[in-house]
Amino acid sequence: MKNLKSDIKKILLSMFVITTLTSCEDNGYDDYGQDVNPTVAMNGEWWINISDPDGNALVEHALHKTYDTNMGDGKMYITDRVGSTETFTGWWLESPVTVNVDNLTFSATGVENTTDGSIVNITDGKILKNAGHSRTGVVVDSIYFKGEFDYDPGTILTFAGTKRTGFEEDEY
């Protein structure tokens, strides 16, 4: 009986060791590596306030997104589109911008605003690491840029906000 218990323990230990060793192999997973695009440091969701040239608030806490074009071409998109619908939370903005990842700046000159076909200029775009605070006081990144649309030339809107944390208590 003692030998049987010993044999069972050896068999179970062997099965555990074999399972552990074979489950840790990396073979066959090369295709699943995460690709990192250059603008990943600038991507995210943002709560942005939009104000007119006199500083009057036009839109508060509009959800915007910045995301890579996945082309590795030094561009990203900025949009206030919600999902894939025709719902927008801010100034109906969806345009590509040229980025400088080294200093976290972005701009666009004479690019199409794909929401309505207008032309937009985006200037002074900057993401400031750890320079903002969420609704509950959590330190987050900050975003700032100015936009001028061809349907209202000369009127430069200011877009300024903070990165979305994803926590319910920080939602607007």
Q: What is the pLDDT of residues 74-122, one digit of tens each?
A: 899 999 998 877 888 899 999 999 999 999 999 999 999 999 999 999 9
Encoding tokens for residue 146? 């100015």
Among candidates 58, 85, 47, which has minimal Cα distance to 172? 47
- Confidence band (pLDDT; 50, 70, 90) for 65? very high
pLDDT at 31: 63
pLDDT at 139: 97
pLDDT at 168: 95
The CA distance from 159 to 146, in Å, is 6
Encoding tokens for residue 115? 């929401």
User: What value does the mean pLDDT take over residues 43-51?
Assistant: 96
pLDDT at 34: 60
Beta bridge partners of 97: 76
pLDDT at 2: 65
pTM of the prediction?
A: 0.79
User: What value does the mean pLDDT take over residues 50-60?
Assistant: 97
pLDDT at residue 25 greater than cutoff 70: no
E strands, 36-84, are: 44-51, 57-68, 75-79
**Cβ atoms 148, 118 nearer than 8 A:** no
pLDDT at residue 47 greater than cutoff 60: yes
User: What value does the mean pLDDT take over residues 33-44?
Assistant: 78
Most confident of 23-32, 37-46, 86-95, 149-158: 149-158
Max distance between CA atoms of the chain, in angstroms, equals 93
Average pLDDT, the chain: 88
